[in-house]
Amino acid sequence: MKISVASVPYFWSKEAYGAFYSALSQTPVDIVYLGETVCSKRRSMKFSDWIEIAEVLRDSGKQVVLSTLTLLEAESELKYLTKIARQKDFLIEANDMAAVQVASENGNSFVTGCAINVYNNQSFSRLSRLGMKRWCVPVELGQRDIIPMVSLADKLGVEVEYQVFGRMPLAYSARCFTARHHQLDKDNCQFKCLNDEQGILVKTQDGDSFAQINGIQTQSAKVSNLINRWSELKEAKIDIARIVPVSAEDTLQAVDVLSNSINKKTQSSSTYLAQDYEFCNGYWLQIEGMKFVS
């Protein structure tokens, strides 16, 4: 089973991205996704900066995938997406059907991100004909849900990737929740996302964890954690275990624990992280997604 690290869903500084990916290049991760997937106003990194990091990671033996935005709202965003989807040097993660179209028209293979809703074999077959080489399973699909498509993926030679760690992406909106939280207009957000390494926790009136707001994205407040169930995923014919970054330090630690577990160097634990995360794994077990079963 391969290990992948998804694009950082949060807004970090150029220096923070550089340090994180420099450290990641020294880990046993097989696949690294790069690029902004949430908000086009996050401009600490230019396209050339991402390419520079991509080349360093490729030289260190990683497969690099360039990710596209999930929600397009302007012509400028479509142009930037087109720039990514047309290039030939790296595989593309399509998080919107526009990226699928551009990549396919240019003869490029692509990964379908989990925001593209693939729930049946008809959709799966269609995307495969268009050039899909890897399928990131939508986070709400469990082990029984994916059986028919995993079987088809095996026949079509499409890799299957499943999130094993990180907050789950639940929804996207044209409204920026972070700006609203700070009582700012979206067009005058003052880049407040930069102040929150992992977004902002939202609790219910009773004080329970509810969600994590991250610009226009809503994430689960709890961190999905299937690290100690990697063997179940392997038996289910999942090819790639996907880690979605939280903090830089804890992401690197998650990589280390998962890698050691797969290589049987240590017994993995669901409570290894230094910070006080709440975990969940319900979707994989076909129960409420926010629940956690040891």
- Residues at the binding site for [4Fe-4S] cluster are 39, 176, 189, 193
CA distance 253 to 221: 20
8 Å CB contact between 279 and 270: yes
CA proximity to 241, closest of 249, 228, 250? 228
**SS in 3 state form for the chain?**
CEEEECCCCCCCCHHHHHHHHHHHCCCCCCEEEECCCCCCCCCCCCHHHHHHHHHHHHHCCCEEEEECCCCCCCHHHHHHHHHHHHCCCCEEEECCHHHHHHHHHCCCCEEECCCCCCCCHHHHHHHHHHCEEEEECCCCCCCCCCHHHHHHHHHHCCEEEEEEEEEEEEEECCCCHHHHHCCCCHHHCCCHHHHCECEEEEECCCCCEEEEEECCEEEEEEEEECHHHHHHHHHCCCCEEEECCCCHHHHHHHHHHHHHHHCCCCCCCCCCCCCCCCEECCCCCCCCCCCCCC
CA distance 71 to 66: 16
Q: Which residue has the tokens 């790639």?
A: 240
8 Å CB contact between 170 and 219: yes
For the annotated binding site, the residues are: 39, 176, 189, 193
Q: Which tokens hold the place of 189?
A: 């957000």
